[in-house]
Amino acid sequence: MFATSITPTSSFTDQSLHQEIAASIQSLLANGQWASYRAPVLDHLKAEIANRIRVSNVRLCSSGSIAMELALRGCGLKEGDEVICPALDYPGNIRAVRLVGASPVVVDVAENRWTLDVEKMADAASDRTRAVIVSHLYGEIADVVTLRKTCDDRGWLLIEDVCQMPGGTIDHSPLGSFGHVAAFSFGGSKPITAGSGGAVVTSDERISQRITSYIDRPSELSPLSPLQAAVLLPQWRRLDALIDLHLLTLKNFVNKCGARFPTWRMPAMETGHQKRCFYKLPIQIETASHRDRGTEEEKNRIIAELSCAHISAGVSFRTIQRVAGGRGRMMGCKNAEAISANCFLLDHRSLAGSSESGERLLESLTSIYDRGLQ
């Protein structure tokens, strides 16, 4: 049967979701929308995202990278304007800042955290500051409540990068609703995926108009296709349930890891008023976890051995200092260097599906961990 033969590719999906995705595509092929510029399925997806993120404007696009560039263009930045950027982030974000003609000012992340240090922003501010980019990274939600307040007080625009964390919330408010504008990604490695794709959302009409005037030439520069919308729609409709299921799986996994791997540090799953979403699970290696090797070498060994066992793993984004080679004003990235140095990441797809695959992963990790102690 067609509808039940989809291969799971994400811990966020299950068999009944696969059936919904197949049915959605089948309907699109039957009604001709797959070959149409203005397919209603695009509007249905926009409405679903607008409703869930509580924004008035959703622009679908072809990647998270273009979504972030559009968010920046929506802010109407001019040559010489400064944008505060986190010291640890997707490198395309700082490239996009330069591309639109603005200057990045790089602010460190907080100690032992992946996200922007709000306290350090004061030192970075100048009379040319116009906007702040904040990214929710590796399951950690940035302090966007404080950030938004600071931005509003100072007349800056907050650009929220939600590419890694669709469905995350703070006190039941969705991530993507805190920024003046926010970017989502539906790329192949992402929890909610169409192979590629993205969206930029805002409730600010001026930002929305600037985005429109940039990308409608008059055809759309970087559209999401109806086929992509058809596979995304069932995923967005089930977002909460999918993330709850994934968090439960992850919590079981992390609990077992805690007992077996005492020198590896894993993030907290319970976070009170926040609902997190782990696109990648970051694991910190403490220096006592190995004997003769340096931590960098130990991290690389673990990733290489995971790769041999066909388990998707990798390193975090490098610090902006390393990527951008010091262009822009650098306000320090000590904490960013520290947290990224000794960390490896497990892909959410490695934790996918059955408890069986979780057990296999644990076994592989155990033998890799034990070899590290030898």
For a copy of itself, which is the closer residue by CB, 121 or 231? 231
For a copy of itself, which is the closer residue by CB, 10 or 335? 10
The end-to-end CA distance of the chain, in Å, is 50
For a copy of itself, which is the closer residue by CB, 69 or 117? 69
Contact between 54 and 171 (Cβ < 8 Å): no
**Cis peptide bond N-terminal to 91, omega within 30:** no
Run of H or E including 229: helix 226-237
Contact between 135 and 158 (Cβ < 8 Å): no
d(CA 47, CA 187): 20
Joined together, the tokens standing for residue 242 give 């999918």
- The minimum distance between CB 229 and a copy of itself, in angstroms, equals 9
d(CA 251, CA 270): 9
- The minimum distance between CB 256 and a copy of itself, in angstroms, equals 27
Polymer length of the chain:
374
- The minimum distance between CB 189 and a copy of itself, in angstroms, equals 6
Q: What is the contact surface with a copy of itself in residues (CB under 8 A)? A: 2, 5-10, 18, 21-22, 25-26, 29-39, 61-66, 69, 90-92, 95-96, 187-189, 193-197, 217-228, 231
- Candidates 234, 194, 205; CA nearest to 55 is 205
β-strand pairing of 198-202 with 181-185 = antiparallel
For a copy of itself, which is the closer residue by CB, 16 or 126? 16
For a copy of itself, which is the closer residue by CB, 218 or 272? 218
- The minimum distance between CB 188 and a copy of itself, in angstroms, equals 3
For a copy of itself, which is the closer residue by CB, 60 or 142? 60
Query: How many other C-beta atoms can be found within 10 angstroms of the C-beta atom of residue 27?
Result: 13
Joined together, the tokens standing for residue 291 give 């004997």
- The minimum distance between CB 104 and a copy of itself, in angstroms, equals 14
Three-state DSSP class for 35? helix
- The minimum distance between CB 11 and a copy of itself, in angstroms, equals 12
- The minimum distance between CB 64 and a copy of itself, in angstroms, equals 7
Sign of CA dihedral 168, 171, 174, 176: negative
For a copy of itself, which is the closer residue by CB, 30 or 259? 30
